[in-house]
Amino acid sequence: HLGCLVRWEDKDNEIFCPCHGAKYTQTGEIISGPQPLPLAPFNVRIEGEDLIIAKA
């Protein structure tokens, strides 16, 4: 992604980019918008009370 922070939209069950209006599935696949590529995957895990997010 081009550096914009995307956010989960629970009501629409999708990821949204407020910078250019792109929409993605929960796995990062494109729903709509001008973006040419899906979101890059990340590894996510819970360690104790911490949520760890790292590049896949």
Specify the DSSP class assigned to residue 6: P
Domain extents in the chain: 7-55
Banded pLDDT at 56 (limits 50, 70, 90):
confident
Q: What pLDDT is attached to residue 1?
A: 56
Backbone φ and ψ of 16, nearest 5°: -125, 140
Domain spanning 7-55, CATH architecture: 3-layer Sandwich (2.102)
Q: Say how many Å lie between the first and final Cα of the chain, rounded.
A: 14
Q: Tell me the whole-structure pTM to 2 decimals.
A: 0.76
**What does the pLDDT look like over 5-55, one tens digit per residue?**
999 999 999 999 999 999 999 999 999 999 999 999 989 999 999 999 998
